[in-house]
Structure 1
Amino acid sequence: MPKLTQQLVQTVLDHNCHVSMGDKLLVAVSGGADSMALLHILQQGGYQLAAAHCNFQLRGEASDSDEQLVSDFCTANGIRLFKTTFATREHASANKISIEMAARELRYNWFNELLQEHNFSLVVTGHHGNDSIETFFLNLVRGTGVKGLTGISYRNKYVVRPLLAFARKQIEHYCLEHAISWCHDASNDDTRFIRNKIRHEVIPVLESINPSFFETMQANMQHLTDAEYMLEQEVERFIQTDVVNEAGTIIIPISKLKGYPHYASLLFEVLRPYGFNPVVVGEVLQHLDSSSGKQFFSASNRLIKDRHNLLVMPIEDLGVQHFWVEEGMTTHDLPMEIRIYDKPADFTFSRNPRLMHFDADLVDLPLLVRRWKQGDVFMPLGMKGFKKISDFFIDEKYSLKDKEEAWLMVSSEQIVCVPGKRLDERFKVMKRTKRILEIKLL
């Protein structure tokens, strides 16, 4: 394990983080050994930089001591410092999220504001190799794809982490060697948190088995990073070749998917960006050969098992469920033109399902246009008996999405038609019809 030096960190910045001397850096400094060492190394290396410190008000006087330490160091070394204080517990409570998630949200939102306001190129954080290993085990325990086993990346958009090649003990040794003070966050010792339990109880056992555990895990995560890249290429080929994005709905053909010998992993990687976790993807896989209609949900999307496809779409508000229309009215929900006129002698009944003609004297206006519901029945044109709307949808091979988007036109609680599909026999134009109600779907 090479000794942590300014030269080695600069090499990592160049090769792994793609940072140049011309970049303007915002260094996130908590007061811990990692961020204090990072700030010292970057400042000594001549980079354009400023420091940013967040006081999350979670540890009382200890939080204030961290802030003072960072302020004193920046003053002594002529480093510009941005500081802010967050009501972290209140933010977590208001948004129903964990303290850790609240702190992350608050600090990265603030970092983004500083980037834009002061034209910084990048945020630099002090995450180190041990953090990456802990992340590996954290994801392993929770369940993850290959991506989650690659640890923390050196660069993610505007955030870079040049200390990932180094261990915590190397960083602390650097601070001692250069007389750099740092603060110890006592909350990092609380093993009620899963990450701390991994850090203090799991990893020490593994280190006792393998004295080169750090180096071994660094190599393992690099191998997994390479494997993840190859899998990513395969996923991209599948998406480009077989997956269709139709007006925001992702259509995954089941037969094409199952043509891959490793289709379970392939499906997980395709669904991962839409928030589906391994458990839900496992349930989807179990129902690939089942009948259509089954639904699965992530926090932001839903997946519908159709006859031949998996349909992925955003979870949206159901929106308007009913409205009224009459002659001369227009609507955005179901665009149409409605007019009433005397039946001409040469009247020809329309065979175009989007141009519908009714006996105007049998229909009460305004018409109610609403979504279908279980128990709805009508008398399809040409039939003498009633049929359930749900059975009609089956006959017409409606998907679940088609059913949810279907409208019905209703007159005095009787279904007049399924717009664009079928009229009701009871409202058709006959020889005795005097006036025509014409509805044209646009």
Structure 2
Amino acid sequence: MLNQFQNHIQLQFPFLKESKFFIAVSGGIDSMVLVDLFRKSNYKFSILHCNFQLRGEESEAETQFLRNFCRANQIYYSIRYFETEQYAKEQKLSTQLAARELRYNWFQEKLNQNNFQYLLTAHHADDNLETFLINLSRGTGLEGLTGIPAQNDYIIRPLLSFSRDEILAYAEENELFWKEDSSNASYKYLRNKIRRQIVPILKELHPTFLENFQKTQEFLNESQALIEDEVNLKYNDVVQEDENKKVISIEKLLKLQNWKTYLYHWLKPYKFTAWNDIYDLVNATSGKQIFSEEFILLKDRTSLLLFEKTDNFESYFLNEDENTLKVPLKITKSKVDNISNPSKHVIFVDEDKLSFPLEIRKWNAGDVFYPSGMQGKKKLSKFYKDEKYSLFDKENQWLLCSNNEIVWVIGKRADERFIATETTHNIIKIQLED
């Protein structure tokens, strides 16, 4: 197995020879074999070990075993103890999910602290098969059937092409020591049931079942790559982007066969979960919204708008003695002697009619103003409608206000009440900078 492993690493991960990396080691057979393979291949690495304090003396015995192993072999190591059950309770997670979240957060922290590039784990081919069956049992799309990736960003899994039997044979042949996790024998966990009850039957039905499964996953991954290429091509036809939002044309979307599949792939990175509600949004009335943790998907007449959540209650202030505001927009004010070239981005106002500090805020229900060039007042909501504002545009339009009265719909229209005239004695120029 050693020669096969070395050839595999040289072919798939040649950059590891010159890289700084950690190996995540539990003390079990898989991770101890991975360590031994890299030691005998003359790679330099360090070890990370998590003690989740879930199995009492057994957990501590694993930690001490690994500590002694690293000291005996002069391998740098780092060990972290976690209050896993307390964390699971606080975060309302299962114990398994809590442990996963804790360890990967710590792994990322250690990588950053030590300027290491990669973290290696000991997942193997049988783990991949078990994950496939778990996902299949729960219901999944093609992506859930493509298995554990050999590399996912900074995480590398060098043993994915090797079976549990090969790993066991290597460990016994090389007289390695390891610690057996007693929880692996428990039928409390779905993975263990699949590992101990279902997989042996599948292998009994067909002796080369695992090898056949690996070939099938190769085909599935190739199919997934083709789908991703097609999804990306159609994205450019259907979706427009600017700095603040993505605009999905409903008309173009519905012309696609299997448009729900395209929409799923485009929106999945934004952690939406209510997929049926999202698909219904296409035919919903304007204004209906679906939320993820950080994003909003909004139906706006002929489009779906995707944008980050913002706090509409934020206000910013420009004091009388300040000439520049940088957040949320860059606005400058200055005293001038005359009016010249007013535009959507530059207004001239009567200083004597202003009350400082000036406030920059979003709109509120009931806001009215007196649009320049028009007679009388107008509801801001009506102005937005006439200007064909989308709901996204409304929520992202800033207003310049004096004593809560609108001076300027910034970048759009000034208020007639505050505009400077030829008879104004104290003229203030206010400009929206690019």
Question: Shorter-chain TM-score category?
Answer: 0.7 to 0.9
Q: How many angstroms does 1:46 deviate by?
A: 4.1
> Partner of 2:81 in structure 1?
86
Note if 1:303 corresponds to 2:288.
Answer: no
Give the stretch that moved more between structures: 190-199 or 288-297.
190-199
Structure 1 residue corresponding to 2:32, chosen from 33, 36, 47:
36
Q: Is the CA contact 1:377–1:388 (under 8 Å) kept in the aligned structure 2? A: yes
Q: How many angstroms does 1:35 deviate by?
A: 1.4
In structure 2, C-alpha distance between the alignment counterparts of 1:307 and 1:136, rounded to whole Å = 41
Give the stretch that moved more between structures: 398-407 or 137-146.
137-146
Q: How many angstroms does 1:357 deviate by?
A: 4.8
In structure 2, C-alpha distance between the alignment counterparts of 1:6 and 1:386, rounded to whole Å = 82
> Partner of 1:441 in structure 2?
431
- SS in structure 1 at match of 2:324: coil
> Partner of 1:405 in structure 2?
396
Q: TM-score, normalised by structure 2?
A: 0.80
> Partner of 1:419 in structure 2?
410
Q: How many angstroms does 1:85 deviate by?
A: 2.9
Q: Is the CA contact 1:328–1:339 (under 8 Å) kept in the aligned structure 2? A: no
Gaps of 5+ in 1: none
In structure 2, C-alpha distance between the alignment counterparts of 1:415 and 1:79, rounded to whole Å = 71
Q: How many angstroms does 1:261 deviate by?
A: 2.5
In structure 2, C-alpha distance between the alignment counterparts of 1:229 and 1:243, rounded to whole Å = 21
Residues 279-338 of structure 1: per-residue CA shift (max 9 Å, x gap): 34x433322244443333333333333344443333455573253555864322451425
Residues 175-213 of structure 1: per-residue CA shift (max 9 Å, x gap): 344433332223334455454455456656766766654
In structure 2, C-alpha distance between the alignment counterparts of 1:324 and 1:118, rounded to whole Å = 44
> Partner of 2:23 in structure 1?
27
Percent identity over the alignment is 37
Q: How many angstroms does 1:139 deviate by?
A: 4.0
Q: Is the CA contact 1:24–1:120 (under 8 Å) kept in the aligned structure 2? A: yes
> Partner of 1:226 in structure 2?
222
Distance 1:162 1:429, change over 3 A: closer
Q: How many angstroms does 1:150 deviate by?
A: 1.2
Note if 1:236 corresponds to 2:240.
Answer: no
In structure 2, C-alpha distance between the alignment counterparts of 1:101 and 1:264, rounded to whole Å = 29
Q: Amino acid of the residue matched to residue 300 of structure 1?
A: E
Q: How many angstroms does 1:225 deviate by?
A: 0.8
Q: Is the CA contact 2:19–2:117 (under 8 Å) kept in the aligned structure 1? A: yes
> Partner of 1:370 in structure 2?
361
- SS in structure 2 at match of 1:181: coil
Q: Amino acid of the residue matched to residue 82 of structure 2?
A: A
Q: How many angstroms does 1:123 deviate by?
A: 3.3
In structure 1, C-alpha distance between the alignment counterparts of 2:112 and 2:374, rounded to whole Å = 67
- SS in structure 1 at match of 2:344: coil
Structure 1 residue corresponding to 2:149, chosen from 153, 164, 176:
153
Distance 1:397 1:327, change over 3 A: farther
In structure 2, C-alpha distance between the alignment counterparts of 1:40 and 1:110, rounded to whole Å = 24
Q: What is the alpha-carbon root mean square deviation over aligned residues?
A: 3.9
Give the stretch that moved more between structures: 214-223 or 361-370.
361-370
In structure 2, C-alpha distance between the alignment counterparts of 1:249 and 1:165, rounded to whole Å = 42
> Partner of 2:122 in structure 1?
126
Distance 1:83 1:361, change over 3 A: closer
Residues 348-377 of structure 1: per-residue CA shift (max 9 Å, x gap): 9x7633344556666555554432111223
- SS in structure 1 at match of 2:293: coil
Q: Is the CA contact 2:122–2:159 (under 8 Å) kept in the aligned structure 1? A: yes
In structure 1, C-alpha distance between the alignment counterparts of 2:4 and 2:359, rounded to whole Å = 73
- SS in structure 2 at match of 1:67: helix
Q: Is the CA contact 1:327–1:340 (under 8 Å) kept in the aligned structure 2? A: no
Gaps of 5+ in 2: none
> Partner of 2:281 in structure 1?
287
Give the stretch that moved more between structures: 316-325 or 26-35.
316-325
Distance 1:28 1:412, change over 3 A: closer
> Partner of 2:132 in structure 1?
136
In structure 2, C-alpha distance between the alignment counterparts of 1:419 and 1:157, rounded to whole Å = 42
Give the stretch that moved more between structures: 102-111 or 367-376.
102-111
In structure 2, C-alpha distance between the alignment counterparts of 1:302 and 1:141, rounded to whole Å = 31
Note if 1:57 corresponds to 2:57.
Answer: no
Where does 1:252-401 land on structure 2 (aligned, <5 Å)?
A: 252-277=248-273, 279-280=274-275, 282-318=276-312, 320-323=314-317, 326=320, 329-332=323-326, 333-334=328-329, 335-337=331-333, 339=335, 352-357=343-348, 364=355, 367-381=358-372, 386-401=377-392
Q: How many angstroms does 1:214 deviate by?
A: 2.7
In structure 2, C-alpha distance between the alignment counterparts of 1:119 and 1:59, rounded to whole Å = 32
Residues 110-149 of structure 1: per-residue CA shift (max 9 Å, x gap): 5556657777664332111122123234444566553332
> Partner of 2:3 in structure 1?
7
Q: How many angstroms does 1:411 deviate by?
A: 4.7
Give the stretch that moved more between structures: 357-366 or 65-74.
357-366
Where does 1:157-196 land on structure 2 (aligned, <5 Å)?
A: 157-196=153-192
